[in-house]
Structure 1
């Protein structure tokens, strides 16, 4: 595997760590205002699966001695675009954005056209494309096949829980 792939993996992990710090700061703000966390187990499973996915894809790329090729470049573009979407979501939701489901009594529902139209843009335009992009970057087909079902199930339960919370807030 050539050095650029190592650097790209490091940049992706660094970006995700920075975003995690933003989430942690937002969690503290929300919890200090009396907000409550929901679906803690689902959030924990998603975090573990996301981490396993990243490192499994990286290790698979190492064992395959992946070189940068057309597929890898498409993966980089998809990951980059998914991160742009993530930054947009973070900016749009402000301190309400966390990797956990944390809701306060006076929680404001974002009525931005993107959130009305797509409802969960972070999942459909950030997380799923990000994982596909990482798969393409490292040619990690086994990782995708092995982890897509458990990750998809966790994401499904997370979306269901979030929808329940949103519908209660809209009443």
Structure 2
């Protein structure tokens, strides 16, 4: 039961980022920004939430004990959250859960964004959901959803790349 409670707390720690995203989305829309890949964004959010729910459910039903895997998963989660905070602070008003191009949108070219294309996806989202699998040990419920997560995530990256190349000349 304790492992399930830990996962519930980790899920709730995402609420502030959802609030930031919602505020930024409202501001971008109010100033004429455009959303791209709406269906894919919704699917990605739903699949990620299903990963949270299924791993929490697994941990509770199977009464997964706290162990070394818990601490490893918490380290992975902490890394993912540190990257998320960095990305939110770096992208500022442009950061959302969805793909938006705002009026006056600027290309961010910090060292991390130059070295790792889409650090929010590769260094936050993937490690974050993996941390839930590690902590819950719920691989049987995680793997099918993770496959869906990767499909929607890679489709999102493809869509975002297309939008970025169109918006910013010289974007590679």
Tell me the TM-score range normalised by the shorter chain.
over 0.9
TM-score, normalised via structure 2 length: 0.94
Give the aligned partner of residue 96 of structure 2: 98
Deviation, 1:144, is 2.2
Task: Please list every run of 5 or more consecutive structure 1 residues that lacks an aligned counterpart in the other structure.
Answer: none
2:35 alignment partner, SS class: strand
1:166 pairs, out of 154, 164, 167, with 164
Alpha-carbon separation, structure 2, partners of 1:31 and 1:145: 35
Greater alpha carbon shift after TM alignment, 148-157 vs 90-99: 148-157
2:131 pairs, out of 130, 133, 138, with 133
How many residue pairs get matched?
A: 169
Task: Please list every run of 5 or more consecutive structure 2 residues that lacks an aligned counterpart in the other structure.
Answer: none
Give the aligned partner of residue 33 of structure 1: 31
1:23-75 deviation digits (Å, cap 9, x = unpaired): 00000111111100100000000010011000000111112211110011101
Alignment of 1:58-137 (within 5 A): 58-137=56-135
Give the aligned partner of residue 149 of structure 1: 147
Alpha-carbon separation, structure 2, partners of 1:137 and 1:56: 12
Deviation, 1:9, is 2.0
Alpha-carbon separation, structure 1, partners of 2:58 and 2:52: 10
Alpha-carbon separation, structure 1, partners of 2:6 and 2:48: 17
TM-score, normalised via structure 1 length: 0.95
Give the aligned partner of residue 20 of structure 2: 22
Alpha-carbon separation, structure 2, partners of 1:123 and 1:77: 18
Alpha-carbon separation, structure 2, partners of 1:36 and 1:94: 17
RMSD: 1.1
Greater alpha carbon shift after TM alignment, 102-111 vs 155-164: 102-111
The runs of at least 4 aligned residues of structure 1 exceeding 4 Å deviation read none
